[in-house]
Amino acid sequence: MAERILIIEDEEKIARVLQLELEFEGYETGIAHTGTDGLILYREQQWDLLLLDIMLPGLNGLDVLKRIRATEFNTPVIMLTAKDDVEDKVTGLDLGANDYMTKPFEIDELLARIRAALRFKPQQQEFAKEQDEFFHEYKDLSIHEQTREVKRNGRSIDLTPREYELLLYLIKNPKQVLSREQILDAVWGYDYYGDTNVVDVYIRYIRQKVDKGSKQPLIQTVRGVGYVLKEQVNEA
């Protein structure tokens, strides 16, 4: 099966040349001309590698890379830019880019770097498998247990230890309605004899942090029962 490469490049002529060269080499390709469209296409389909321009309308390439790396580390990303700017290179690599090329570039060199990045991908995937048990994700919310990093749509969220344990329990049980008693047992422990209202208080705390600035709240109340982590269904 042919490897699939997504080209996110606003200059249509350059994107078309890249597409023709890559398809001649046997790759399947997709093209997006804005950062937003590229991010949507990346999330909708499976890709083996991204060619990502920095200077893009809407979301620039660094913003796109940051959002991708907030939840996914396996897909190789090669950054493209017309500027020979060291700061951009450092920022891109720090955000998780695998390689960097400055325009104009020789297509043979780009193809060689693509082959190198794709050869390295199986090693990254093996490492990722070892880390999967520590990484939890629901929609655009993610938690990494080893680093205790909590992010939503690329935005870092600071939680207290108790808030973290509560959100971790919710994300480990997505779409499951959890009673206050279940939450108390899992987060506060079986020997907790306080008021179950403490769950409501902490749910309110993490809602303020997790759902802040998001159009789609993820922590839902089930009246008379408890809480569930799921997307809100808008009834007509």
Domain count for the chain, please give it. Answer: 2
Query: Has residue 66 been placed in a domain?
Result: yes
pLDDT attached to residue 132: 62
**Cα dihedral value 89, 94, 95, 98, nearest 10:** 70
pLDDT for 236 equals 41
Same-domain status, 8 and 110:
yes
pLDDT of residue 121: 62
User: Which of 41, 64, 230, 233 minimizes the C-alpha distance to 139?
Assistant: 230
Residue 175 sits in which domain range? 139-229
Strands of the sheet containing 99-102, edge to edge, are 28-32, 4-8, 49-53, 77-81, 99-102
CB atoms within 10 A of CB 106: 9
Task: Select from 113, 132, 151 the last residue of a domain.
Answer: 132
Q: Are residues 127 and 157 in the same domain?
A: no
Domain stops at, among 132, 160, 176? 132
CATH code of residue 50: 3.40.50.2300
Residue 234 within a domain: no
In a domain, 235, yes or no: no
d(CA 159, CA 168): 11
Asked if residue 51 and residue 88 are part of one domain, the reply reads: yes
Per DSSP, the residues of 12-57 read: HHHHHHHHHHHHHTT-EEEEESSHHHHHHHHHHS--SEEEEESS-S
Clarify whether residues 106 and 145 are in a common domain: no
Single out the residue in 115, 132, 149 at which a domain terminates: 132
The answer to whether 92 and 62 are in contact (CB under 8 A) is: yes
User: What SS3 state is found at 74?
Assistant: coil
The verdict on residue 213 lying in a domain is: yes
pLDDT in tens, 60-89: 999 999 888 877 778 899 999 876 667 777
Q: If the chain, 236 residues long, is cut into consecutive pieces of 10 residues, what is the mean pLDDT of each piece?
A: 91 95 96 94 91 92 89 86 74 86 90 89 52 79 87 88 94 94 86 76 94 86 93 60
pLDDT for 153 equals 83
Asked whether residue 43 falls in the same domain as residue 83, the answer is: yes
Q: What is the pLDDT of residue 235?
A: 46
Based on the fold, state whether residues 14 and 69 are members of the same structural domain: yes
Strands 219-222 vs 178-179: parallel, antiparallel or unpaired: unpaired
